[in-house]
Chain A
């Protein structure tokens, strides 16, 4: 029996055909795989980190509420505990468990412990087994004990039996760690409700009542029927976690969108790789058609190549994304530097849905990047495509302007549309439409811009400019990824610079005092009592002092709490001191004025002259909105009122902060020393310069991840340029071979490539810069306003952008030179004999 020689054992040719370009140009396809992998990894990592943080909040909300059907919740300042009696006696209520929540500052440390004061017997009915087995429940009836979660024990570095010191007012409360909580994520502590009220100045106040209802009673109907005082809401137990998640959602979505831009840039890189590869293989593909391949088979072949890139990139990206998320949680934190998720330390949970979604996105991006080149290759007429020199026709399809114009028009309309569920989806859509539309118009823009090039002397410049002008569509394919990256970088640079400048201006305007004091610094357990305030006022060298009390209030169940700022003398000086961004409404009759922040105006749809009812104390106080002021510190909104009116409504004479002006000739050091002596660890002291520096430090840390994501997008753009130049040089080997024959030196060919790289980079910078400026306006006036409700003044960082442009131009030139080194080799001389 004869045996077939291995070389003759041929099966279906398709695997070999799909694999051929990867074998021939492994590096080029590795770059495309890497670009997709980076996009997938960044998107998945951001999603997993944010998901871990939000999941942690939701878990915490569920654990605190136990088996409750409903939570009656008030502001952090609380509501009168008489409400508990009314709720507990309601015939539909089986169990009602009162609670007091305090973010207690650790004495002498800049850290907070989330404390819950509970009624042992009521709480156990809702959450049986919440104490560890070895704990003595009776310890929870003592007024000097606390039970801590395992996380809290670790973070505080204490064990059962140790004592912890917490700040209350300017004093210290010492509690013995009596045991551990059986359940609970995050750093939490539980103590007796009476002890909590007594130690932390909350006598007669509750912040929540957890309620279990009789079977058959619908929570929503029960909540609607409850006659709750102003500022108190009844909602699902998970709503607290939802609110936190909602408050941070815009920030998280922004990061996700940035990560997706990296994936989009990767898709453009796949597109340019495939488009140039298809142009180079045009005659080979035409031969397949001549031999009997259908158009569908050619499309399938090229899409299969895209699918291989996509699948490889997705798998690599998913693995890298999970690793990146674990590293970010460990070293950067759950908020990725933004400071929005303080006090939690979530662990990474691999979300299979998010993992699948980002994997599929990476796969789809690579396949989508292959669609246009595949369709073009299938449409080509084989007879024409077989001839050498037909390569340029591969890009003919890019010449039609209408898809690009239509996308630009759609983008212009989208910027006018309102947010969707609090998210600027149309704003993002407008940016995507602008980006895609510009990329589709790149051949025309490239032709127009290259037409402006001056006629430079010398053969290299002449050859390079003639080629770029003759084949703008090919240059545009090389440019797509770089334009996307440059526009993103420019837009983000302008937006971040504008926000930073506006923040600096805002800080300069709102910090007129010489020294600022804050009781505790963090948490809400510290405060300045009337006696403390008197002692501060009496310090020698203090010319003037004003106090501020801030409390959070729930104005609506669907909205996060707003911060009420009650400051001395507001009625007299608000117009002069606030950074107002609206018209000023006069006081009406005897109704006092309140001054609301930009986020509050947007979230609660209020404007100057509107009436605002604030649930202060046990009643409601009405105000006229006097004006809207710029505020970057409280994203859920803030309202400023005169402290005298706050005291009249609530009887609360405590304060959190103080602004202190020195008397003429007073020594700042002596005044600071006197404040320190009053409460060595209990009062945080900062000058306006300290606050400014700290704020900018937080700002820069917040945008660090943003910068990192931008840098990745730019790196992918440069990889795209490198890949495209490499592919073009390969396709132009015969051209360079001929030039070497007729007497063009290697140096002159290098100059041709350098000139082309610089010109293409210059066009990329010009188009990307203009597009980036337009995108920055959308970011500032649409995305930021709809996400965070911030206004800001546009500030273009010319110096930074010029440096970036020069660096990119240099890198583009070097990239073109490095990628084109094949054009300088000896084998191009032999290429004049090649048919393809």
Chain B
């Protein structure tokens, strides 16, 4: 479903040259697979996510989603691909403060032009799945951090994406809330059939996934014991 084929990404360094953050990295994620990626800070985890999302372009190699090389798509086409095929969960939640919980969750459906009745049904089902059905009309400022991340998970899955990219989704949560959110992410992913790439520093979070990879300057490897 997602394939990274010898992907390289370089950034300018202080001496006027370039420095490879990712160097010929390979990765394949199957449909419905839940993959966790750990690694030290600065090793390129977020860069990897941006490349998978088509938000950044590799200097070498190819990123393919369902067989489509993302490099062949323009900005608008990539945006529409993200709109339909991808879901995102961020460390800082990024829930729009001026929309209610339900309208935040409905946003991806609105972008796809889904009709009002179907949107209502799917938002209700999604909120029920993340345990926030009673908070549908609340504004984000009335919610706790754990609840905000559950809103973000609902928003990431409501449009039934093929792939969810989660960047440190438990980074801003206490251990109890983190465990709840991870459990919720795993069950909702399983229910939706979406694949997921989870980037995290947390071994506990990584342990939730079916496959755990460790990213180093040399590429992917087994996680340290």
Q: Point out residues on A near B: beta carbons under 8 Å.
A: 388-389, 392, 459, 462-463, 466-467, 469-471, 734-735, 737-738, 740-747, 829-830, 832-833, 835
Contact = CB atoms under 8 A, between A and B. Distances in A.
Contacts of B107: 459, 742
Contacts of B81: 743
Contacts of B167: 832-833
Given A467-B98, A741-B53, A744-B111, 16 more contacts: A389-B97, A459-B110, A466-B98, A738-B88, A738-B94, A740-B79, A741-B82, A742-B86, A743-B81, A743-B86, A743-B111, A744-B83, A746-B75, A746-B79, A830-B50, A833-B91
Interface in B40-88: 46, 50, 53, 55-56, 75-76, 79-84, 86-88
Given A389-B140, A740-B55, A463 B96 contact: yes
A747 B83 CA distance: 14
Contact of B141 (A389, A462, A469, A740): A389
A742 B90 CA distance: 11
A462 B110 contact: yes
B88, B98, B107, B108: residue with the most chain A Cβ atoms closer than 10 Å: B98
B96 A735 contact: yes
Given A466-B99, A743-B108, A744-B111, A388 B79 contact: no
A389 B142 CA distance: 12
Contacts of B92: 388, 734, 832-833, 835
Q: Which of the four size classes fits the interface of chain B?
A: 20 to 34
B98 A471 contact: yes
Contacts, number: 81
A833 B172 CA distance: 12
Given A462-B110, A466-B103, A734-B94, A745 B55 contact: no
B91 to A, nearest CB: 8
B110 A742 contact: no
By secondary structure, the A interface counts as: helix
Nearest to A387: B145
Interface string B123-146: 000000000000000011100000
Contacts of B55: 740-741, 829
B155 interface: yes
A455 to B, nearest CB: 12
A735 B141 CA distance: 15
Given A462-B110, A832-B90, A743 B82 contact: yes
Of all A-B residue pairs in the complex, the 5 with the closest CB atoms, nearest first, are: A743-B83, A470-B98, A738-B94, A743-B82, A467-B98
A470 B110 contact: no
Contacts of A835: 92
Contacts of A744: 79, 83, 111
Contacts of A832: 90, 92, 94, 167
B44 to A, nearest CB: 13
A743 B82 CA distance: 5
6 contacts: A459-B107, A470-B139, A741-B53, A741-B55, A743-B108, A833-B92
B87 to A, nearest CB: 8
Contacts of B139: 470
A561 B99 CA distance: 69
A835 B172 CA distance: 11
Nearest to A734: B94
A392 B98 CA distance: 10
